[in-house]
Amino acid sequence: MTVTPTQGASQLRQYIERIERLEEEKRALMADLRDVYSEAKHSGFDPKTMRQIVKIRAMDSDLLAEQETLLTTYREALGLV
């Protein structure tokens, strides 16, 4: 199948418009996340720690266990336990 220059331009425009819409949605979601973290902070929670918890909950359990083991090993090696 051959794509004509007109078809190619049309298809490119569609991709660009989709990307622009998704970028706008991403900006809106990021603003919503900032608002939630701000609300949590005003309620006395630590946003930095909350971000770590969100990251941990998203991780694969095997990967998480491996990282925790390494962290414990490094702490012990440095006398931080």
- Number of separate domains in the chain: 2
Q: Which residue segment(s) compose the domain that 58 sits in? A: 46-81
Within this chain, do residues 39 and 54 fall inside the same structural domain, yes or no? Answer: no
- What are the distances in angstroms from CA 8 to CA 2, 13, 17? 10, 9, 14
Q: Which residue has the higher pLDDT, 74 or 7?
A: 74
Within this chain, do residues 15 and 52 fall inside the same structural domain, yes or no? Answer: no
Within this chain, do residues 25 and 56 fall inside the same structural domain, yes or no? Answer: no
CA–CA gap between residue 22 and residue 28 (Å, rounded): 10
Within this chain, do residues 7 and 39 fall inside the same structural domain, yes or no? Answer: yes
Within this chain, do residues 6 and 39 fall inside the same structural domain, yes or no? Answer: yes
> Is residue 3's pLDDT more than 90?
no
Instruction: With cut-offs at 50, 70 and 90, classify the pLDDT of residue 61.
Output: very high
**pTM of the model as a whole:** 0.71
Considering the chain, what percentage of its residues have pLDDT values greater than 70? 99
